[in-house]
Structure 1
Amino acid sequence: MSQGSNFVDYVKVCCRSGKGGAGSAHLHRDKHTAKGGPDGGDGGRGGHIILKGSAQIWTLLHLKYRKHIIAENGEGGGSALRSGRNGKDEILEVPLGTIAKDAETGETLFEITEDGQTEILTAGGRGGLGNWHFKTPTMQTPRFAQPGEPGKEEWMILELKVLADVGLVGFPNAGKSTLLSVVSAAKPEIADYPFTTIVPNLGIVAYRDSKSFVMADIPGIIEGASKGKGLGFRFLRHIERNSVLLFMVPADTSRSINEEYQILKRELHEYNPELMQKPHVLAITKSDLLDEELKREMKNDLPKLPYVFISSVAQQGLVELKDILWKAINTETES
Structure 2
Amino acid sequence: MFKDSARIHVKAGNGGNGCVSFHREKYVAAGGPDGGDGGKGGDVIFEVDEGLNTLIDFKYKKNFKAQSGEDGGTSNCSGKNGADLIIKVPRGTIIKDEVTGMVLVDMIKQGQRCVIAKGGKGGRGNQHFATPTRQIPNFAKSGDIGEEYSLILEMKVIADVGLVGFPNVGKSTILSMVSAAKPKIANYHFTTLVPNLGVVKIDEGKSFVIADIPGLIEGASEGVGLGHEFLRHVERTKLLVHVVDVSEIEGRSAIEDFETINKELLRYNELLASRPQIVAANKMDIPGTEEKYAAFKAELESRGYKVFGISAATNKGLKELMYYISNTLSTLPDTILIDENKDEEVVYTAKDEKPFDIHIDNGVYVVEGNWLRKVLGSTNLDNYESLQYFQRALKKKGVIAALEEMGIQEGDTVRIYDTEFDYSK
Question: Considering the TM-score relative to the shorter chain, is it more than 0.5?
Answer: yes
Pair 1:203-2:198 in alignment: yes
Deviation at 1:133, TM superposition (A): 2.3
Deviation at 1:288, TM superposition (A): 1.6
Change (3 A) 1:291 1:150: closer
Deviation at 1:25, TM superposition (A): 1.8
CA distance in 2, matches of 1:83, 1:190: 62
Corresponding position of 2:283: 286
Deviation at 1:283, TM superposition (A): 0.6
Corresponding position of 1:260: 257
**SS of alignment partner, residue 9 of structure 2:** strand
Gaps of at least 5 residues in structure 1 are 1-5
Deviation at 1:91, TM superposition (A): 0.6
CA distance in 2, matches of 1:249, 1:278: 17
Corresponding position of 1:3: none
Aligned pairs (5 A) from 1:1-335: 6-31=1-26, 33-253=28-248, 254-289=251-286, 295-302=293-300, 303-333=303-333
Deviation at 1:261, TM superposition (A): 1.9
Deviation at 1:255, TM superposition (A): 4.6
CA distance in 1, matches of 2:27, 2:322: 83
Identity over aligned residues, as a percent? 47
- What amino acid does structure 1 have at the position aligned with 2:163? L
**SS of alignment partner, residue 269 of structure 1:** helix
Corresponding position of 2:410: none
CA distance in 2, matches of 1:238, 1:135: 60
Change (3 A) 1:297 1:153: closer
Q: Does the CA-based 8 Å contact 2:36-2:76 persist in structure 1?
A: yes
Change (3 A) 1:153 1:296: closer
CA distance in 1, matches of 2:194, 2:234: 12
- What amino acid does structure 1 have at the position aligned with 2:157? V
CA distance in 2, matches of 1:181, 1:312: 9
Q: Does the CA-based 8 Å contact 2:32-2:135 persist in structure 1?
A: yes
Q: Does the CA-based 8 Å contact 1:279-1:328 persist in structure 2?
A: no
CA distance in 2, matches of 1:322, 1:111: 29
Deviation at 1:10, TM superposition (A): 1.2
Task: Point out the more displaced range, 223-232 or 10-19.
Answer: 10-19
Gaps of at least 5 residues in structure 2 are 336-425
Count how many residue pairs are aligned between Structure 1 and Structure 2.
330
Deviation at 1:90, TM superposition (A): 1.3
Q: Deviations over 1:305-326 (max 9, x none)?
A: 2221111110111111111111
Q: Deviations over 1:283-335 (max 9, x none)?
A: 11111226656544443222422221111110111111111111222111389
CA distance in 2, matches of 1:284, 1:32: 96
**SS of alignment partner, residue 246 of structure 1:** strand
Deviation at 1:204, TM superposition (A): 1.4
Task: Point out the more displaced range, 23-32 or 163-172.
Answer: 23-32
**SS of alignment partner, residue 287 of structure 1:** coil
RMSD, aligned CA: 2.1
- What amino acid does structure 2 have at the position aligned with 1:272? N
Q: Does the CA-based 8 Å contact 2:247-2:289 persist in structure 1?
A: no
Task: Point out the more displaced range, 290-299 or 46-55.
Answer: 290-299
**SS of alignment partner, residue 333 of structure 1:** coil
Q: Deviations over 1:27-50 (max 9, x none)?
A: 223235332322222111222221
**SS of alignment partner, residue 332 of structure 2:** helix
Q: Deviations over 1:154-195 (max 9, x none)?
A: 432211011110011101111111111111121111111111
**Larger Rg: 1 or 2?**
2
Change (3 A) 1:291 1:63: closer
CA distance in 1, matches of 2:243, 2:183: 17
Q: Deviations over 1:45-64 (max 9, x none)?
A: 22222110122221122332
CA distance in 1, matches of 2:209, 2:334: 17
Q: Does the CA-based 8 Å contact 1:279-1:332 persist in structure 2?
A: no
Q: TM-score with structure 1 length normalisation?
A: 0.91
**SS of alignment partner, residue 99 of structure 1:** strand
CA distance in 2, matches of 1:296, 1:169: 22
Q: Does the CA-based 8 Å contact 1:167-1:239 persist in structure 2?
A: yes
